[in-house]
Structure 1
Amino acid sequence: MKGHYKNILCVLGDSHRQDDTVAQALHIAKTHQANITIVLALEALPPNANMIMESFSYIESQQGMETQAQQWLTEQSKNWSQHYHADTEVLIGDPLINVVSYVVNNNIDLVIKRAEESFLDKLFGSLDMRLLRKCPCPVWVVDRKPKSQYKNVVAALDLNYHYPKHEVSVRQELNRDILRHASQIALLEFAQLHVVHVFDAVPENIARDGFITVDNDRMEHDLAKIFEERDNELALLLNELSDELDDDVLDFLKPQKHIVHGYPRREIAATAASVSADVVVMGTVARLGVPGFIMGGTAEETIHQLHCAVVGIKPSGFQTPISIEKK
C-alpha cells in the first residue's frame, strides 16, 4: 500500500521532557517497521557571539556544545532503544534548514516532532509550522501529551474541484494521498477512520453582513446539489482505495463519512473535536508553483485550532523552497 513509512526522522528541539515524544515516535516506527533516527536540532551560537569572544573561544564553545549534546543524546538513546533500535545525530545551526537538508539527503519519508506551544510560536511561526509549510515529506506533529495508541483518525479532504484543470489533478492526487496515509494509520493503530469534508456555498461572513441577498429556498437546493456532488466524489475515492487495499480491508476499516456544511476554517477542527480525533491527516499546501503561497489559509487556521496530533501532507510535485546542498 502506498504511503508506508520506511525512514523516519524524530526531531527534538531541546533536552527537556522528551521521553514521551520519543516513545510515540518509536511506537510509530515499530508499527511501520521503519528505520528511525532521533536528531537533536539545536540553534548555533548567535552570530554576534564571535564579536565578544575570541575566535578560538567561539569555536571551542561551539564544539563543546555539540560534544555535550551528542553525549546526552547517546546516553538517552540507551534507554530509548531498549525495545526498538534508533540511530542518533546532533544537528547544530538553523533547525529548519538542517532538518529539511537531512530529509532530502537521507530519503526520509516522515518527520515526527512534538508540538510547540507558546503565544510567540503562533505569532511568529514555530518550527512546527515552518516544517509543515516547507518540509518536502509528511510531517507528523504529535501532541504535547502523546497517547500510546490512537482510537480515532481523521482524513480531512477538500473535495471541491471547481478549479482550473491543471490544479484539479493535483488536488485529486493529494486527496488520495491523505486518504492512504490516514487509512494506514487507522489500520496499524486499530482505530476508527473518519473522513471529513466541509463545504460552504456562500462565504458566511458575506451573507451575514448583508453584502448579498440570499434566497433561502434556492440556497437549500444548491446545498443539496453540492452535498450530492461531494458525496459522489468521496465514494469514488473510497472505491479507488478499496481497489488498492487487500480484500475486505475497507470493510474492516468501516470509514465514517462526515460531509458538513459550514465555514471550513472553523468546522474542520470542530468536526475533528466532535469525533474525539487523536490525529488529523490533512494537506498543508494548497497550490504548486506560486511564490509565497506556501500553506493554504484554511490549513493554517485549522492547525492552530486542533487539540490533537497532525500529519501534514504535501501534494505530488512539491519542492521545498529551501536551498539545499545535496550530498
Structure 2
Amino acid sequence: MRVFDNTLYIVGDSDGLPGLKRALALTNTETGSISLVSIIESIIHPIGSSKFYTELKEAFEALRHERLAMLEKLANSVPKGISVTYEVMDGRSYVEAIKRVLLYKHDLVVANAADSDHKGNRLFVSEEMQLLRKCPCPVLLLKSSQAGPFKRVLATLDFEYYDTPDTEQSEPTLNDEILEVSATIASEAKGKLDIINVYEIPGEGAMTAGWIPMNINSFSDYANSCAKTSKDKVDMQVKRSKHRLGTTVFDQSTVETHIVHGRARSTIPEVAETLKTDLIVMGTVGRAGTSGFLLGNTAETILNHIDCSVLALKPPGFETPISLD
C-alpha cells in the first residue's frame, strides 16, 4: 500500500536521487506516476547589448540542457511499474509547481528544503513557505541531509482548528488524513508512529496570576479535566483511524501517543527533537475560497524550529490563489 498516486518531484540543484527515493517510497507502485521537474527561475529579456543578450540566452540554454540530462538520468532509475515524465520549466518555482498541480492533478509535491547551519532557527526560505501556504495538495519538504526511509513519524493532531469527529461520522476530516497518512508512511517503512496533541488550559494565565480566584485543588481538577479531554479525543481519533485502515497498517504495537500541556509552537519542535523524528505530518488551516495560509505564526514558528522533513496537508475545501490564467 502506498499513499499517493500522482507525485510531482521538484528537483533542485543538489543530488536529486535521495529525494527521488523518498518520493517513490510514497507513490503507488502499481498504478502510480511521478513527474520530475526542474524549474529555472529566470526570464531573459533583450536588455543591454545584443551580444550580451545572445551570450546570456546561450548560457541559459546550456543550463536547460544540463538540467534535462540530469532529469533523464533520474527518470531512468524509476522502477518499471511507475509511469515517469520529466521536464525543465521557466518561472517562479512555487507558481509553476502549483500550476502544474492544477493542470495535471498531482496529489503530492515533493521538494528538497534548504538546510540551515543554525539549529533551532530553520527559517524556511520564501519559495518553500509560499509553496506550503498556497499549494492545493500535500507538500513534502525533505531535509536533504536525511537518508533512508521515514522510520519515526510524528502525527500532529489539532482539535481546536480541525474537526473532532464521532467514531460513526463518515466524512473524513483533516485529523483523519493526518493520522492515516502518517500511519501508512510509518507502516511502509516498518517504523514507529508517534501521535501528539498539545493542549492548553483555557484561562490558565489569569488563574495562576490570581485574576480569577481558584484554590489549588480546584485548579488541579480543572487541569486534569483538560488533559483527559485531550486524551479522550486522541483515543477516539485513533479508534476511528484504526477502523478505517485496519490493523495491518495501523499496528498499535508501534504507536505511541503524547498528550502534552503547553504551546504547540514550542512543544512540537522539542518533542520532535527528543524523539529523533524523521518526518512531521501536520495540517494547515485556510478558509475555502481564500488565499491559503498556514495557521498564522504558530505553524510557521513550528516549521522554522524543526530539524526534520515535514509533510503539510490541506483542509477540505482549500482553494489555491494561484490560477492557470
Distance 1:206 1:87, change over 3 A: farther
What whole-Å deviation, never above 9, does each CA across 1:109-132 have from its counterpart, x for those lacking one? 11111112459x976942111111
* Residue number in structure 2 paired with 1:152: 152
Alpha-carbon contact 1:183-1:193 (below 8 Å) kept: yes
Distance 1:63 1:295, change over 3 A: farther
Match of 2:47 among 27, 47, 51: 51
Alpha-carbon distance in 2 for matches of 1:42, 1:206: 53
User: Is structure 2 residue 231 aligned with structure 1 residue 224?
Assistant: no
How far off is 1:299 after superposition? 1.2
Alpha-carbon contact 1:203-1:263 (below 8 Å) kept: no
Alpha-carbon distance in 2 for matches of 1:162, 1:22: 31
Alpha-carbon distance in 1 for matches of 2:143, 2:294: 21
Alpha-carbon contact 1:96-1:130 (below 8 Å) kept: yes
User: Is structure 2 residue 51 aligned with structure 1 residue 88?
Assistant: no
Q: Please state whether the residue corresponding to 1:274 is helix, strand or coil.
A: helix
Superposition pairs of residues 166-315 of structure 1, within 5 angstroms:
173-202=173-202, 210=209, 212=211, 215=214, 216-251=216-251, 254-285=254-285, 287-289=286-288, 294-296=293-295, 297-315=297-315
Q: Please state whether the residue corresponding to 2:9 is helix, strand or coil.
A: strand
Matched letter for residue 283 of structure 1:
G
* Residue number in structure 1 paired with 2:166: none
User: Is structure 2 residue 32 aligned with structure 1 residue 37?
Assistant: no
The CA RMSD measured in Å over matched residues stands at: 3.4
Match of 1:111 among 61, 84, 109: 109
How far off is 1:293 after superposition? 6.8
Alpha-carbon contact 1:116-1:126 (below 8 Å) kept: no
Alpha-carbon contact 2:268-2:302 (below 8 Å) kept: yes
Distance 1:235 1:200, change over 3 A: same
* Residue number in structure 1 paired with 2:6: 7
Alpha-carbon distance in 1 for matches of 2:67, 2:14: 11
Matched letter for residue 277 of structure 2:
A
Alpha-carbon distance in 2 for matches of 1:251, 1:62: 56
* Residue number in structure 2 paired with 1:166: none
Matched letter for residue 279 of structure 1:
L
* Residue number in structure 1 paired with 2:97: 99
How far off is 1:204 after superposition? 7.5
Matched letter for residue 4 of structure 2:
Y
Matched letter for residue 218 of structure 1:
S
Matched letter for residue 115 of structure 1:
A
What whole-Å deviation, never above 9, does each CA across 1:236-287 have from its counterpart, x for those lacking one? 21122122123554335642110100121100111122211100000122x3
Alpha-carbon contact 1:155-1:282 (below 8 Å) kept: yes
Q: Please state whether the residue corresponding to 2:222 is helix, strand or coil.
A: helix
Q: Which runs of 5+ in 1 are unaligned?
A: 164-168
- Give the fraction of aligned pairs with identical amino acids, expressed as a percent: 26
Alpha-carbon distance in 2 for matches of 1:203, 1:42: 51
Alpha-carbon distance in 1 for matches of 2:148, 2:25: 8
Distance 1:192 1:278, change over 3 A: same
Alpha-carbon contact 1:44-1:62 (below 8 Å) kept: no
Matched letter for residue 234 of structure 2:
L
TM-score, with length taken from structure 2: 0.82
Distance 1:82 1:230, change over 3 A: same
Q: Please state whether the residue corresponding to 1:39 is helix, strand or coil.
A: strand
Matched letter for residue 98 of structure 2:
V
Alpha-carbon distance in 1 for matches of 2:125, 2:280: 20
Distance 1:194 1:243, change over 3 A: same
What whole-Å deviation, never above 9, does each CA across 1:122-153 have from its counterpart, x for those lacking one? 76942111111000000001112122122211
TM-score, with length taken from structure 1: 0.82
What whole-Å deviation, never above 9, does each CA across 1:62-94 have from its counterpart, x for those lacking one? 476246424433345325633536421111011
Distance 1:224 1:203, change over 3 A: same
* Residue number in structure 2 paired with 1:18: 16
Alpha-carbon contact 1:22-1:80 (below 8 Å) kept: no
Matched letter for residue 146 of structure 1:
Q
- Higher helix proportion: 1
Distance 1:290 1:104, change over 3 A: closer
Alpha-carbon distance in 1 for matches of 2:40, 2:255: 41
Distance 1:213 1:251, change over 3 A: same
Q: Please state whether the residue corresponding to 1:228 is helix, strand or coil.
A: helix
